[in-house]
Amino acid sequence: MEPIVETRNLRVEFRAQNSGQAKKVAVKDLNLRICGGEVFGFLGPNGAGKTTTMNVLLGFVNATSGAAFLFGVDVREPIARQRIGYLPELTYYYKFLTAEELLRFYARIFGIPRLEADRRIEQLLKLVELDSARKRPIKTYSKGMQQRVGLAQALINNPDLLILDEPTSGLDPLGRMKVREIIQRLKNEGRTVFFSSHELGEVETVCDRVAIINQGELKVEGRVADLVERHQANLERIFLDIIGYQPEPSA
Amino acid sequence: MNTIFALTSVVIKELCRRKDFYVLFFLTAVLTLLMGSVNFFEDTRAVRYVKEIALLLIWVSALVIAIATTARQIPAERENRTIFPLLAKPVTRAQVILGKFLGCWLACGLALVVFYLFFGVVSGSREHSWPVLNLVQALWLQWAMLGIVVALVLLGSLVFAAPSSNATICFIVVLGILLLGRHLNQVALQQPEPLRSIVYGLYFLIPHLEWYDVRDIIIYDHNLIGWLDCALATLYAAVYAALLLFGAWLLFRRKALHL
């Protein structure tokens, strides 16, 4: 089966800030294969290399060595991003536009015909419950509303692959549940979802497979149920063990 | 092209929703109307001075709009991180540069049309003559010149970290070219070598923005400039803008997206 997301010996190094320091290796020879219809959780502590890996997949950062592919197309080709939706960790949108204008702008970028774009905008604004605020500038939205606009823009091209960078970060429990529902719905529709999160309970609920990376290295990868069975612990415990967390002895 | 036009429309919407243009237009309109309403000893030549000052205000306002709007485009995309969802779409960095350029240039064109319409109506109502073609030529050449300025500022926004420093430097450079550009060859003649060659080199290197300042054909009702000359000036502006945009693309290609 052709993988939807694939990295082969992916390595990303950043130049040292000071001349005396060594290069910082953000991702070390990462090999990932995500197949169609999977919900894949990408876990790791802060600074582990999750966002850097996503940045390579999205073409924001060039790999130092190795390669990455989306739908079998090298990520350096812009066309590789035609069938993906991306939701960044925080909301970054043109605040002087309304939600409707923002979605129309992205629809135009994807070359979606006007009538079809109208239909999708209508559908998505209803899905993310922003129908009543569609004519208001984004700068007047709350954080949760902005995150929902983000989700709508990520879905405007009806993507086959959704890349979500900590999609529930900063959301209230209701917002989190809504995002989870949408991920579940996409999974049922056979879409592939690749997402990073610190919410391990959430990952356990929605993911088919997970990968845990630490200091740029892939530490473990597999089906959630298999990992839980193998380690005889929940995902949080597995995660903490893998990153080498030692609880301080109580006084 | 769809992507470029989509980016262009966002830039134009931004200009329409910001106050810069309205403030500058309001100031120009108020100053022009105030001066136009004053009668200096029944002197009909006073209208010329009013026209001269109004056109100067239009030139300064257009430069401020072009530089201020363009200088913040790419830094704002990076600072607000809107560049991330944008480049996560099938959009290349070259398209971002072209979209931003086209958006800023068209926005300047729209602003110029409003300014010149106002100027045409005020001066026409005072002089009872309507030199429409003179106005069209002056507007077109000024717009072509702004194409070079917008491309220069776009390049500057990838070189200088802060939009304010880029805007200040570009404003000084543009003003320097407009005021001193035509005299550089004469300055070169008075210099010893190797300074002479350097100044001469500079004279041939800089885009001669002063060639596009044809306010005199409106103020003194001079004959129209040849249309072929206009076309050549447009071509000259297009070549310079293209070179500057190419430079901007080379820099943007390698630029880290975060600040």
pLDDT value of residue B221: 77
- Chain B positions in Cβ-Cβ contact with residue A94 (cut-off 8 Å): 10, 14, 82
Question: A147 pLDDT exceeds 90?
Answer: no
Structure confidence at residue B36 (pLDDT): 67
CB contact under 8 A, B13 and A79: no
DSSP A78: G
Q: Is A174's pLDDT higher than 90?
A: no
Rounded Cα gap, residues A37 and A212, in angstroms: 20
Average pLDDT, chain A: 87
Residue B40 clears pLDDT 80, i.e. is over it? no
What does pTM read for this prediction?
Answer: 0.87
What pLDDT is recorded for position B143? Answer: 96
pLDDT at B218 over 90: no
Q: Confidence class of residue A119 from pLDDT cuts 50, 70 and 90?
A: very high
Q: B33 or A63: whose pLDDT is higher?
A: A63
Q: Is the pLDDT of residue B39 over 80?
A: no
pLDDT for position A33: 92
Measured CA to CA in angstroms, residue B70 lies from A67, B14, B66, B125, B207 at distances of: 36, 11, 6, 35, 18
Q: Distance (Å) from the C-alpha of residue B67 to the closest C-alpha of chain A? A: 20
Q: Which of A20-24, B119-123, B138-142, B240-244 has the lowest mean pLDDT?
A: A20-24
CB contact under 8 Å between A58 and B92, yes or no, is no
| pLDDT for the residue B43 | 64
Task: Give me the mean pLDDT over the A29-35 stretch.
Answer: 91
B9 contacts A96? CB cut-off 8 A = no
Interface predicted TM-score of the whole assembly (ipTM), two decimals? 0.85
pLDDT at B22: 84
Tell me the shortest Cα–Cα distance from A59 to chain B, in angstroms.
Answer: 7
Mean of pLDDT values over B216-222: 81
pLDDT above 70 (res B44):
no
pLDDT of residue B41: 60
Q: Identify which has the larger pLDDT, B109 or B34.
A: B109
Cα distances (angstroms) measured from residue A208 to each of A72, A157, A223, B7, B91: 21, 24, 6, 38, 31
Tokens 């300047």 map to which residue?
B108
> What is the mean pLDDT of the segment spanning A62-77?
90
Instruction: Provide the pLDDT confidence category of residue B259 given band limits of 50, 70 and 90.
Output: low
Residues 6+ apart with CB under 8 A from B209: B145, B148, B149, B174, B177, B178, B181
Q: Is the pLDDT of residue B42 over 70?
A: no
Which chain B residue has the Cα nearest residue A152?
Answer: B85
pLDDT band of residue B216 (cuts 50, 70, 90) is confident
The C-alpha atoms of residue B208 and residue B177 are separated, in whole angstroms, by 7
Give B19's pLDDT tier (boundaries 50, 70, 90). Answer: confident
| Per-residue pLDDT band at B181 (split at 50, 70, 90) | confident
CB < 8 Å to A109, chain B: 2-3, 6, 86, 89-91
Q: Which among B5, B10, B92 has the least Cβ separation from residue A94?
A: B10
Q: Using CB atoms, pick whichever of A88, A101, A157 lies closest to residue B84.
A: A88
Distance CA B14, CA B34 (A): 30
pLDDT-above-90 percentage for chain A: 35
CA B64 → CA B24, B137, B151, B180, distances in Å? 9, 21, 14, 19
Highest mean pLDDT among B18-32, B35-49, B129-143: B129-143
Do residue A59 and residue B17 have CB atoms under 8 angstroms apart? no
Give the mean model confidence (pLDDT) for residues B131-136: 87
